[in-house]
Structure 1
């Protein structure tokens, strides 16, 4: 059954107009009055719904019953990622959402190729958030992970003191395996660099803020692969 994100107040028996993006998708799928679909608004659970009217550019649906279904990972894994360039960040956001990331914080580090600011940064954030929404529609998640505005790594470290295990992916001697370093923490923050990784100075700055070095093994992974691997190790349930 088609699933659509509908960031509105939903209630059984209500008749609502779908937001423009969802309405376009319904029209592309050529759904007709009486056809069934599923709605979720990101606040928990999902609703059955039925197409009530198809306009030229708008779609009305009748909301049915609410099902308190959640498909979140057992552990909240928050990614703090050095943004890879080109379409690699789009891929990272999509796959991280499918794998259950609780949130995604893009950062710019010393070796970053992609550096964003101002209006360009705001547009990319909106683009990445839309990718997360589409991934939730596809994979069945009913809670959309927030994709934060890009920040400099130094600014994020200065502003943030997240609760839970704080881990920075590292190739340093003595770094513990990621799963071991996370232990039984219910929330885990995983920081890693962009192409070329974090500099030694950046790793030191993270350690000074309470991060612990953690390892995904001896191989050097691409930035987007590191995120996916970390979620596979920590987040799949």
Structure 2
């Protein structure tokens, strides 16, 4: 592929329709266990927000008074390091939650930037307790999500000390494939996001140079294809074997 094959999205911020909002709730790990009528009720608690490419949803250190459920678009979540660098720690997509799920205003740990036109549903912190009281299943989902976030942070620390760079890069690619992969007619899976190599480096906890070397070897071995801001997974099974150390 010569041109970037990732699908472009809508050109400007817009108000997401009710159907789009309900679909996002039906697929989000936070709200998918709720019944359709509960999704409708939850919709009365949220407001729809939209951002253009490059706009911040929130900034690290900023006092935030709620959280966002991404409905459409992609969001780069970044963190400042102690040496002044900014690294990507996640790519959020529809169904993901951005911001702290707390009942009181708190301070954002990470910054979140729209990678393209993005729509999200905003739930104020001071309404969260009321929502949980009406929908107890949501409380369970929040606990599970917090546990998942802690486990991912722990795994990231362990991987940095116990896994090779190639294993860490393969892990990131497979995780993104599970969330953003789009199966193509030739059997490959295109990651539907404009992905920079330094995004992958940040999520893998390594340098841009090491990531580029690892991905170049993967491409040479026929495991992936890639170009400017796009990656396609060709052999996911072999990537899984790399992650497992085989």
| Fold match by TM threshold 0.5 | no
Higher helix fraction: Structure 1 or Structure 2? 2
TM-score normalised by the chain length of structure 1:
0.26
TM-score normalised by the chain length of structure 2:
0.26
